[in-house]
Amino acid sequence: MTTVEEKAKMETNTNQLMEFLEEVSGLSAAQKKRVYKTLVDFGITHPLAFKNRTVKELTRIDGISENVAEKIVEHANPSKKGELLFKSLAEVKKEEDSNIMISTGSKRLDELLGGGISLGTLVEFYGSPQSGKTQLCYTIAANTLLEIGGVLWLDTEGSFRSSRLEQILFYLEEKKKDKIDEKQKEKINSQFNVATVRTLAQLELALQQAEKVITAYDVKLLVVDSLMDIFRAEYGGLGELAERQKHLNVVVHKMMKLADAYNIAVVYTNQVMANPDPFATALDKVQPVGGFVLGHASDIRIWLRRATSATKKKYDAPNARRAMITDCGWLPMEETIFSIGAFGICDVEEESEMKEEISEEK
């Protein structure tokens, strides 16, 4: 997207915000102008931001009084306009069937997820180091950029490398029947935005600023790699555990509201810890960090780990991995295998093919 197009999109969003405020009853023209400026300065540029915001949340913004917040929320609430909140089963099914899926890069893993990662959901990939968490994020991001829209990437560990994303993008571009022209490549480059966040204050600021970027760059995916790293760094010991979980709950709900308001997929990676219980089952011996707060927030939790030696040998895939759904309200707790190829996530049968392609290029 060129600078001119970006500016035009932002202006369109802010115009829609002004139109929304113009319809709010009980506010003077001067009040509406002041509120408009306050909201834009805060990072709210589109009426979708009010879809699930409460009066209490709006009053936390400096310059927004409780009276103004109540009028905005009342105007944004469909029940106040006579619209029913309920939907029929047929309507819900139609919405679910029409929802866009993002590919993980592996057909097996997509099938495990019911077709891929659905927009509007929160997906957690957890596992030990080198289990494939970040590589999955790279490939999911690349597929989003090529097929759907923009991507926001929050890097908490300083591990993001543009060269790896470009490598995967280049490979996926080559596989497409219709080659991507320079204008499309320029748009893809501008639609990917990354922020390095090393403190919780920076993470919350990035989530606040995300609203402005989501609408301007048609973002469909938010990646947080990894979510719990900075929480573990800033809160140490059992004495601060309750405060950590309370803070985590606030941050996670901000991501949930972004996913719901703007219909984007939120993918985050998570670390693991050992369960000291000697009677724990094999499944429970390794647990994701974050406790019940993160467990209740995630729509889908997927445990990643290395595949068995037999699987690696069978498919000639030394980088084979296992993925198991450990928690999901609509998908069974099943397991599949995938691999980390030279050009991102792939099926185990494709890893050796990728190696052959590199050899042929050399």
Contact 40, 46 (CB under 8 A): no
Check whether residue 100 and residue 27 sit in a common domain: no
Percent of the chain topping pLDDT 90: 71
Q: What is the pLDDT of residues 169-183, one digit of tens each?
A: 988 888 766 667 777
Residue 237 has a pLDDT of: 80
Question: Which is more confidently placed, 278 or 49?
Answer: 49
Chain centroid, CA 22 distance in Å? 32
Q: Is 236 a member of any domain? A: yes
Check whether residue 307 and residue 332 sit in a common domain: yes
* Confidence band for 185, pLDDT divided at 50, 70 and 90: confident
First to last CA, the chain: 34
Q: Is 86 a member of any domain? A: no
Dihedral class, residue 304 (left if φ above 0, else alpha if ψ from -120 to 50, else beta): beta
Highest mean pLDDT among 4-18, 184-198, 272-286: 184-198
**pLDDT over threshold 90, residue 340:** yes
- Give the β-pairing of 101-102 and 117-118: antiparallel
The token duo for 317 is 């895939």
Q: What is the CATH number of the domain that holds 27?
A: 1.10.150
Check whether residue 147 and residue 123 sit in a common domain: yes
**pLDDT over threshold 80, residue 279:** no
Q: Is 88 a member of any domain? A: no
Check whether residue 194 and residue 318 sit in a common domain: yes
DSSP for 120-133, please give it. T-EEEEEESTTSSH
Q: What is the pLDDT of residues 13-52, one digit of tens each?
A: 778 999 999 999 899 999 999 999 999 999 899 999 998 8
Rounded Cα gap, residues 330 and 158, in angstroms: 34
Check whether residue 47 and residue 112 sit in a common domain: no
Q: What is the CATH number of the domain that holds 266?
A: 3.40.50.300
Q: Is 195 a member of any domain? A: yes
The structure's pTM equals 0.89
* Confidence band for 2, pLDDT divided at 50, 70 and 90: very low
Rounded Cα gap, residues 47 and 63, in angstroms: 18
Quick one: average pLDDT of 144-158? Answer: 95
Q: Is 180 a member of any domain? A: yes
Cβ contacts of 286 within 8 Å, gap of 6 or more: 128, 272, 273, 274, 275, 303, 305
Check whether residue 225 and residue 301 sit in a common domain: yes
Q: Is 137 a member of any domain? A: yes
Mean pLDDT of the chain: 89
- Please report the sign of the dihedral spanned by the C-alpha atoms of residue 97, residue 103, residue 106, residue 109: negative
Residue 362 has a pLDDT of: 46
**pLDDT over threshold 50, residue 335:** yes
Check whether residue 218 and residue 330 sit in a common domain: yes
Check whether residue 126 and residue 246 sit in a common domain: yes
Q: Let me know the angle formed at the C-alpha of 135 by 6 and 268, rounded to the nearest 5 degrees.
A: 70
Write phi, then psi, for 82 (nearest 5 degrees).
Answer: 90, 5
Contact 45, 17 (CB under 8 A): yes
Residue 3 has a pLDDT of: 52
Q: What is the pLDDT of residues 51-108, one digit of tens each?
A: 889 999 999 999 999 999 999 998 988 666 667 778 899 999 998 888 899 999 999 9
Rounded Cα gap, residues 58 and 78, in angstroms: 18
Q: Is 7 a member of any domain? A: yes
Residue 51 belongs to what domain range?
3-81
Check whether residue 185 and residue 213 sit in a common domain: yes
Q: What is the pLDDT of residues 293-305, one digit of tens each?
A: 999 999 999 999 9
Rounded Cα gap, residues 91 and 46, in angstroms: 26
- Give residue 96's identity as a one-letter amino acid code: E
**pLDDT over threshold 90, residue 114:** yes
- Within the chain, residue ranges assigned H as helices are 3-22, 29-42, 55-59, 66-76, 89-98, 107-112, 133-147, 162-175, 182-191, 200-216, 229-234, 241-262, 291-297, 309-315, 348-361
Check whether residue 137 and residue 13 sit in a common domain: no
Q: Is 87 a member of any domain? A: no
Check whether residue 158 and residue 64 sit in a common domain: no
Check whether residue 30 and residue 148 sit in a common domain: no
Rounded Cα gap, residues 344 and 357, in angstroms: 14
- Split into its structural domains, the chain has a count of 2
